[in-house]
Amino acid sequence: MGYREEYEKWLKEFADDQATVAELKGIADDEKEIEDRFYTELSFGTAGMRGVLGAGTNRMNLYNVTRATKGFADYINAGDPSYKERGVVIAYDSRRMSPEFAKASALVLAHEGIHAFLFDELRPVPVLSYAVRHLHAIAGIVITASHNPPQYNGYKVYWEDGAQMPPEYADQVLKCIRANRYQDAVQMDEKEALESGLLKIIGHKEVDDDYIAQEKTLSVQPELMKKAGKELKIVYTPIHGSGNKPVRRILKEIGIENVYVVKEQELPDPNFSTVKVPNPEDPAAFTLAMKLADEVGADCIFGTDPDCDRVGIAVKDDEGKYYLMTGNQIGSTLLYYILKSREALGTIPANGAVVKSVVSTELARKIAESFGLVCFDTLTGFKWIANKIQQFQDNGDHTFIFGFEESYGFLSSTFVRDKDGVNASLLIAEAAAWAKMQGKTLYDILQEIYKTYGYYVEKVVSVTLPGKDGLAKMQEIMKNLRANPPKELAGVKVRAVRDYLAGTRTDSEGKVGTVDLPKSDVLYFELEDDAWVCIRPSGTEPKIKLYVNTNAKDAKSSQDENAALVDACKALLA
């Protein structure tokens, strides 16, 4: 069926839904918009679904959410009979339609005989991850689109380990979803669901208090915080999201007395009206926080995205200007702080391990190895780091110390299995306090790291290719790069090409080896001077991501080579 037929079908099938019909009739003369909304179904993968809100098969709306939940319910009901009783925990953030999508999901599950545990108000992703394990649920759902613009929302699914579902599970869920029509997704009456016990509303006593108690155990130097916590000044912004309450609570409970919250961004706001994009990677998201920091003389600024799994930091540099640290710099600084502190305390385990994504900085490996730890790489996506944590626990061969992705996700616990903005906020505050007690800032600590291990420069470039044609172009680019990989980039010889889809590593002499990671559409170019370039289509957005990493003895040399490599790679993707 073509996109025009799908459009006409929706007008008929949902004729009783006046709002949907009115929206669709409003685009009757816009063929391109109709095509974009109906040329495909919203994709469902390991990160669930994510898309622009609106009517259509390729949009986030109540019909796609309830149909996905019906498919997920079928998958659960096809498993062990105990799965129904164990149930599904559901959380949501501050986005448009998040509460409505969450409640509808709970009522569809209830209709299918599956217990649903719905949070009483918005909660961060890490709280959901913790709750799945804490309540011994079989699965979890989070309604969020993370740091995307306000017109987006999403639907993420978790399994019993508290991590996002691996590909083989997600593929089975997708089959179940596609076996259902929209009409097959039926919501139980809310009153009936509550009275029957199939729907339970959960609050602080059931989950949050235990979560915060566990988070406090992640303090590396609790004694230090009793003193430094009184002196440190922090400006924090939840950027209108779900981090406001748990982040402020953890900072207070570890002893940080001077926390200044950006009032204009404190409360939930689905329009994210003070920013263009609610993304702590974006310097503009910190404009109001920087103003407040100047007023109060803050030592550190940090902000969390709407679902509070990512954290960004701004600190003053040598010239007194605010410097926004990258995800790689934050991860490396936190790792350095943890290991320096644990070395002084004598608590580094002999089998300690650090885990990072393959597109994250190699500086982390240098730091980890200098303290006697092993550093493991995973594919992009925190579920792979979570999978590594589980492997460590199952095999008993390593003790997990820290994991991170360059995309501003950090974790030092094993009781949460996704990136944790509350955990990261605690560590950032501690690291800033530790630096302050030495008369330094986090920027100073970062410079110390560079002087010790080399100047690492990392650049991430996104090339957006929207619409139906964009997806085809993305596939064509990756196909061409595999058929004709570059021999050199910006004058630097390519030492080897790792193709994670084929599972191969081919060196410059043509010798083929293997890479020990699951298959993924990723190309990684090792360069002769230990620089590297990685090209990866996004799994959630219509874009190709380009990762360029260089290192040298001085900052300028590393920066110059990085800029040249970025230009060379952009030419490859043109």
Domains 40-211 and 225-453 share a fold: yes
Strand 488-489 to 455-464 pairing: unpaired
Per-residue pLDDT tens over the stretch 119-173: 999 999 999 999 999 999 999 999 999 999 999 999 999 999 999 998 899 999 9
Count the neighbouring beta carbons within 10 Å of the beta carbon of residue 425: 29
Which are the contacts of 572, defined by CB distance < 8 A and separation ≥ 6?
481, 486, 535
Would you place residue 1 in the very low, low, confident or very high pLDDT band (cuts 50, 70, 90)? confident
Q: Is pLDDT at 539 greater than 70 in this prediction?
A: no
Each residue's pLDDT tens digit, 243-259 = 999 999 999 999 999 99
Pick the CATH number of 455-573 from 1.10.3720.10, 3.10.290.10, 3.40.50.720, 3.30.310.50: 3.30.310.50
Which of 98, 105, 129, 146 is catalytic? The answer is 146
Bridge partners (DSSP) of residue 545 are 462, 536
**Two structure tokens written together for 401:** 């110390």
Q: What is the pLDDT of residues 16-42, one digit of tens each?
A: 999 999 999 999 999 999 999 999 999
Which tokens in the block code for residue 489?
Answer: 């980039």
Q: What's the chain's Rg over C-alpha atoms?
A: 24
pLDDT in tens, 330-376: 999 999 999 999 999 999 999 999 999 999 999 999 999 999 999 99
Strand 233-237 versus strand 152-159 pairing type: unpaired
What pLDDT is recorded for position 540?
58
Question: Residue 463: which pLDDT band, with cuts at 50, 70 and 90?
Answer: confident
Percent of the chain whose pLDDT exceeds 90: 89
* Residue whose tokens read 């095509």: 35
Structural contact between residues 459 and 555, judged by C-beta atoms closer than 8 angstroms: no
**How does DSSP classify residue 358?**
T
**Residue 413 or 473, more confident:** 413
Range with lowest mean pLDDT among 148-152, 463-467, 566-570: 463-467
The label of the residue with tokens 């339970």 reads 200
Q: Summarize the confidence of residues 96-104 as an average pLDDT.
A: 98
Residue 561: is its pLDDT beyond 90? yes
Which residues lie below 8 Å from residue 447, measured CB to CB, with a gap of 6+?
none
CB count in 10 Å sphere of residue 19: 9
Q: Region 62-74: what's the mean pLDDT?
A: 98
pLDDT band at 297 (very low <50, low <70, confident <90, very high): very high
The class of domain 225-453 in CATH terms is alpha beta
CA distances from 83 to 67, 184, 525 (A): 20, 21, 44
Mean of the per-residue pLDDT values of the chain: 95
Taking only the tens place, the pLDDT of each residue in 108-117 is: 999 999 999 9
> Is 468 a residue whose pLDDT tops 70?
no
> What is the CATH number assigned to the segment(s) 40-211?
3.40.120.10
Q: Rounded to a whole number, what is the distance in angstroms from the first to the last CA of the chain?
A: 33
Question: Amino acid identity, residue 160?
Answer: E
Selection from 354, 308, 349 nearest residue 331 by Cα = 354
pLDDT, tens digit (0-9, with 9 covering 90-100), for 540-558: 567 899 999 999 999 999 9
User: What backbone phi and psi angles, to 5 degrees, belong to 518?
Assistant: -60, 155
- Sign of dihedral through CA atoms 363, 377, 421, 92? positive
- Cβ atoms of 418 and 129 within 8 Å: the answer is yes
341 classed as catalytic: no
pLDDT at 44: 87
Rounded to 5 degrees, what angle do the CA atoms 139, 141, 142 make?
A: 145
Tokens 């010239």: give the residue: 319
Closest CA to 62 of 124, 155, 137, 139: 155
Provide the residue ranges of all domains of the chain, joining segments of one domain with +: 40-211, 225-453, 455-573
